[in-house]
Amino acid sequence: MRKNKRRNFREAAIRAFFFTCGILAVLVLLGIFATLLSTAIPAFREIRPSEFLLKTNWDPTSPEKAEYGILSMVVSTLMVTGGALLLAVPIGIGVAAYLSDVAHWRVREILKPVVEILAGIPSVVVGFLGIVLFGPAIAKVFHTGHGLNAANGSVLLAIMALPTIISISEDALSAVPAAYGEASLALGASRWQTLVRVKLPAGLSGIIAAGMLGMGRAIGETMTVLMATGNARSFPHGFLDSVRTMTSGIAIELGEVPYYTTHYYALFAIGLVLFVMTFLVNMAADVVLRKYQEKER
């Protein structure tokens, strides 16, 4: 009897503990969003939202007229991220296909953890590689003065997004029932045809989700792009231009901005825009994944 009571109490305590943990996580997230929102909104007392989003000049400390157009930074972010995906998605799918389809199981057992460990490399180290290795290489190949530009950022972000893309694509491909592959081979398809026409389409939603999660990883990355893309505030006209992304813009200026000024609020507004962008990407990934799971049922 007493034993029973004690057990019930423990059950309840454990349940309460986990419930608190769950609620806490949600509360913290909501808190971050609320802070971001409340600190960003005052910026629009002085800046017109359309100006903020569509003008390309960002010069909040100008002695004549402060300008708050973030379009250059938004475009830079999209360029660097898009370039990174252009590199990382094909390579990532290739590696995933190799791991799930071609590699000996022992090779896979070693390679997959190694790839996942790659995700743990600190971004400052990747940025360092960009400055001493990829940057000079890009400068040499394209005969530019220095290699601190959007292309460099794309290469580095591709490296950082690859582990996510490879790992999740590999999961998606491995989840394709073996029976599909057998059916295809038995019809006289080559392994390549089987991969391209049966396995990749069957795992497509998972692969798309992998790309989107990789994009989420790349779009919010700060330190690497701050170090390696050259920090030019001008509107980028190509991948060999130096750029400043939204993240590095915030990181550079927030340390020196006078608090509670329009400039200060505007930086939070950039953060809000970035938050909305990553939120949309993640939500799209979630929708795709869910659709995928429904189809499997």
Residues of this chain, 102-141, that bind another protein according to CB under 8 A? 104-105
Contact 97, 173 (CB under 8 A): yes
Confirm or reject binding of residue 186 to another protein (CB under 8 A).
Answer: yes
Q: Which two tokens stand for residue 213?
A: 């999660």
The stretch near another protein (CB under 8 A) out of 3-11, 18-26, 175-183, 231-239 is 175-183
Shortest Cβ distance from residue 112 to another protein (Å)?
A: 17
* Count of residues touching another protein (by CB under 8 A): 21
In this complex, which beta carbon is closest to another protein, that of residue 148 or of residue 202? 202
Q: Which is nearer to another protein, 169 or 229 (CB)?
A: 169
Q: Scanning residues 210 to 239, which ones bind another protein (CB under 8 A)?
A: none
Cα 67 from Cα 243, distance rounded (Å): 18
Per-residue DSSP letters for 110-150?
A: HHHHHHHHHTTS-HHHHHHHIIIIIHHHHHHHHT-S---SH
- Residue 59 has phi, psi (to 5 degrees) of -150, 75
291 contributes a contact to another protein by CB under 8 A: no
Q: Which residue has the tokens 């997959």?
A: 112
Q: Which of 54, 102, 117, 183 binds another protein (CB under 8 A)?
A: 183
Does 185 bind another protein (CB under 8 A)? Our answer is: yes
| SS3 at position 175 | coil
Residue 295 makes contact with another protein by CB under 8 A: yes
Contacting residue, 180, 222, 223, 233, with another protein by CB under 8 A: 180
Q: How far is the CB of 281 from another protein (least distance, A)?
A: 26
Binder of another protein out of 120, 145, 188, 258 (CB under 8 A): 188
Residue 136 burial by Cβ neighbours in a 10 Å radius (0-12, 13-18, 19+): middle
Read off the DSSP letter of residue 261: S
| Contact status: 45 vs another protein (CB under 8 A) | no
Which helix (H) or strand (E) is 191 found in, with range? helix 191-193
- The window from 68-76, 181-189, 235-243, 261-269 that contacts another protein (CB under 8 A) reads 181-189
Q: Is the Cβ of residue 76 or residue 184 nearer to another protein in the bound state?
A: 184
Q: Does 294 bind another protein (CB under 8 A)?
A: no
Residue whose entry in the numeric block shows the structure tokens 């005969």: 143
Considering the rule CB under 8 A, would residue 54 count as an interface residue with another protein?
A: no
Smallest distance, Å, CB 105 to another protein? 7
Q: Exposed (0-12), middle (13-18) or buried (19+): which is 272, by Cβ within 10 Å?
A: middle
Nearest distance, CB of residue 116 and another protein, angstroms: 24
CB 146 within 8 Å of CB 135: yes
State the greatest distance between any 2 C-alpha atoms of the chain, in Å, as a whole number. Answer: 83
Mention every residue, 6+ apart, whose C-beta is less than 8 A from residue 32: none
What is the C-alpha to C-alpha distance for residues 138 and 156, in angstroms, rounded to an integer?
12
Q: Which residues within the stretch 65-104 sit at the binding site for another protein (CB under 8 A)?
A: 104
**What is the token pair recorded at 205?**
């939603």
The one segment of 38-46, 188-196, 241-249, 269-277 that binds another protein by CB under 8 A: 188-196
Closer residue to another protein (CB): 90 or 201: 201
Task: Write phi, then psi, for 83 (nearest 5 degrees).
Answer: -60, -40
Residue of 7, 15, 197, 291 that binds another protein (CB under 8 A): 197
Q: Which residues bind another protein (CB under 8 A)?
A: 104-105, 177, 179-190, 193, 197-198, 201-202, 295
